[in-house]
Amino acid sequence: MGRATLQSTDRHLCTSRAIPPCPAEFFSALDALPFLRAAFIQRCPGIDVVTDRETALGRLWSVHRETADALGFSGFPFAVAEQVHGNLVARVDGLNPTPVPGADGLVTNRPGLCLAIYVADCAAVYLADREVQAIGLVHAGKKGAELGIVTEAIATMRKAFGTDPANLVVQVAPCIRPPNYEVDFAAEIVRQAREAGVRDIFDCGACTASNPEKYYSYRRERGRTGRLLALAAITPQHTELSPEAD
């Protein structure tokens, strides 16, 4: 594994490590949680993604899986959402159909199950409950933010796991931002989390459209591009005392 290097910002630390075959990004606020493994896979070099979404994802799948394995997710099954730009958040336990129909967010307290969200300008939003050791991962763009998907994810975690929003850590990953996009939906995501009672909210601040060497951007590349991959899982060795809640 390559040596971590400072990526940005002064609001928190984002680190980037070159992991073959794709580089990945890490967030210090999430790395500080011993039960959580989280990563954000960046642009994969050498793969032709100038095509439609499904073809691009097919070409990326094997290198995404290989990179995930190298990052410590080896043997972890993926739980994937359909991602329809809505606000449905589903609880998953590894037995759900995948992708989960109609869902744009996933939550779990199951160890060794990797939540996976694809983005290419929309934000991946990580949620981690440090007390009950439950996690969530949300696909949130302009439409999702308008529909309150982060608020919905927090409510789903409260109902499923007894999550107190004050115990959550929320991390916003790289996404498109002004002036490359007319709406600052990252700010709306932060606002929703704060209004729901979350205290520890972190925004990477990176813009996907401004960093073509690191990120795919749907807008910059006119829809014919690849997808970045957000990953989050509860590590099995830290879940023995995790409570269940219905």
Domain of residue 207, CATH code: 3.60.140.10
Is residue 128 a part of any domain in this protein?
yes
Residue 133: pLDDT band (50, 70, 90) is very high
- For residue 62, count other CB atoms closer than 10 A to its CB: 11
Kindly state the average pLDDT of the residues 128-132: 97
Asked if pLDDT for residue 241 goes beyond 80, the answer is no
Q: Cα 25 vs. chain centroid, distance in angstroms?
A: 11
pLDDT at 93: 94
Is residue 95 a part of any domain in this protein?
yes
pLDDT at 237: 78
State the residue range of the domain holding 224. Answer: 5-230
pLDDT at 15: 52
Q: Cα 218 vs. chain centroid, distance in angstroms?
A: 17
Residue 95: pLDDT band (50, 70, 90) is confident
Q: pLDDT: is 103 or 13 the higher one?
A: 103
Nearest to 25 by CA among 207, 177, 216, 174: 174
Q: Which residues pair with 139 in a beta bridge?
A: 124
Is residue 241 a part of any domain in this protein?
no
Is residue 245 a part of any domain in this protein?
no
Is residue 135 a part of any domain in this protein?
yes
Q: What percent of the chain has pLDDT over 90?
A: 85
Nearest to 169 by CA among 214, 202, 215: 202
Asked if pLDDT for residue 141 goes beyond 80, the answer is yes
Kindly state the average pLDDT of the residues 50-72: 94
Residue 75: pLDDT band (50, 70, 90) is very high
pLDDT at 242: 40
Is residue 243 a part of any domain in this protein?
no
Mean pLDDT of the chain: 90
Is residue 207 a part of any domain in this protein?
yes
Q: pLDDT: is 3 or 13 the higher one?
A: 13
pLDDT at 85: 97
Into how many domains does the chain fold? 1
Q: Whole-model pTM?
A: 0.89
Burial of 59 (0-12, 13-18, 19+ CB in 10 A): middle
Q: What percent of the chain has pLDDT over 70?
A: 88
Is residue 119 a part of any domain in this protein?
yes
Nearest to 88 by CA among 144, 161, 126, 158: 144
Question: Using CA atoms, how far apart are residues 107 and 79, in angstroms rounded to an integer?
Answer: 10
Residue 19: pLDDT band (50, 70, 90) is very low
Question: Using CA atoms, how far apart are residues 22 and 40, in angstroms rounded to an integer?
Answer: 10
